[in-house]
Amino acid sequence: MRNICVIGGSRYFGKHLVELEREAGNKVTVINRGSTPRLPGTTRLVADRDDERQLREALGARTFDVVFDQVAYTPEQAATARRVFEGRTGRYVMTSTMEVYDPATFAALPTGPEGPLLAEDRLDLAALPPAREPSRAGDAPDPATAYAEGKRRAEAVLLTDPAFDTVTVRTAHVLGGGSADFTGRLAHYVERIAAGRPVDIHADPRPTSFVHHEEIARFLHWTGSGTFTGPVNAASHGALTVTELCDLIAAGTGRRPRYRTVPGGGAASPFSFDRSYAMDNGRAARLGFGFGRVEDWLPGAAAEARADALVRTG
């Protein structure tokens, strides 16, 4: 039996991860702010991870074999975790995002025509420029840029001179789960296509990467048991453009998707991108993990979302 800590993990695929750890016979401690019920079979510690003193007090003298960090969004949070968990764990797994590769949020990754899938070494964390301080109140980055930049810098804190064996899992867009999917992005497409409403897309949409919510939980669980370190991409095989995504969703509705092209710079539906940054999952494969194919699990996930929509609408 191993001693596992999960920071966050109270919803969506984090709950699946906790379930997998429990099913493996491990002792699981979940750290959150106490706003959700305690997960069955776990020990819950209530603490604000941004408050280092409170986090240390909640942990007491506890140590862990593996820490899964589901909610590290900023370099400050990563630095706090690095200090607090140094000497408490031998392995630290941070859930990051494919958005770290988005050229629209990082000038060092130029936007260009569709190219090869991006491997982990495409992003040089050691070459990140100094963080830019807003010069005035209205100069703050947009939420998407702030999210991607926060994840890049959080990775850099944990992977530069690491205090423990560290893995940063760059997760593709997570789909599936019906009502459990709090993002509602798959439901957006399922409901629009079923109702015959148009989907807003770019004139030349580029492919992106996806992963099933249960698959990413299995990958995180598997990663916790490994010995490798560094960044690793987590994505199902088969990058899709938004129209390819809609075609797979529509296959179960008997309707053809309708599209509306947005003007240059306009806001499109989720997963419509005018730049390509789909991920190469080759490192995970070489390490021994076999991802499935999007085309195999997406129809089932779409059916689950349609069933959930029927329940909600009566």
Q: What is the set of domains in the chain, with CATH numbers?
A: 3-313 (3.40.50.720)
Q: What's the pLDDT score for residue 313? A: 58
Crossing angle of helices 242-250 and 185-195, rounded to 10°: 60
DSSP bridge pairs for 5: 29, 67
CA 109-170-207 angle, 5° bins: 60
Q: What's the pLDDT score for residue 292? A: 97
Q: Does residue 167 sit in helix, strand or coil?
A: strand
Q: Which own/partner pairs from 250-258 qualify as long-range (CB within 8 Å, at least 24 positions apart)?
A: 250/193, 251/299, 252/299, 252/302, 252/303, 252/306, 253/190, 253/193, 253/194, 253/306, 255/193, 255/194, 255/196, 257/193, 257/199, 258/193, 258/196, 258/197, 258/198, 258/199
Q: What's the pLDDT score for residue 39? A: 83
- Rounded CA gap, 201 and 126, in Å? 35
- The pTM of this model reads 0.94
DSSP bridge pairs for 261: 201
- Rounded CA gap, 148 and 142, in Å? 10
Q: What's the pLDDT score for residue 143? A: 86
- Rounded CA gap, 90 and 95, in Å? 17
Q: What's the pLDDT score for residue 314? A: 54
Structure tokens at 78: 């990563």
Between strands 66-69 and 91-97, the pairing is parallel
Mean pLDDT, consecutive 10-residue stretches, the chain (314 aa), reads 92 91 96 84 94 96 98 96 97 97 80 71 86 60 89 96 96 88 88 92 94 97 98 97 94 88 86 92 98 95 82 58
